Amino acid sequence: MAEAEIEVAVDVEQAVRSLPRAHLLLLRAALIGFNDQELAVLVGVPPESVRPLLRIAAAKLGSSLAELDGRS
C-alpha cells in the first residue's frame, strides 16, 4: 500500500472513531445487517429513534469525511 493510501485510511478511521459511541455502534451494526429492533436494543433507544439516529450519525460521518477531503 502506498504511503498516501495509508494516510487516507488512517484519516478515515479517525473520522469514524470521532463519532459518538452510540452513533458508531449504530452505523457498524446497521452495515452488518442488524434490523431496527436489534439496533434499538443495542443502544438503548426506542425503535422509532433508530432511523433518525442513523441519519444523524451518517451526517456527522459525512461532515468529518468532507473536512478530510477539503484539506487535501
Ordered by start, the domain boundaries in the chain are 21-71
Q: Is the pLDDT of residue 53 over 90?
A: yes
Find the mean pLDDT for residues 12-41. 91
The model carries a pTM of 0.77
- Sequence letter at residue 71: R
Provide the pLDDT for residue 32. 97
Nearest in space to 26 (alpha carbons), one of 69, 7, 35, 18? 35
Instruction: Quote the pLDDT of residue 42.
Output: 94
Q: Residue 17 pLDDT > 90, yes or no? A: no
pLDDT at 27: 93
Which pLDDT does position 12 carry in this prediction? 79
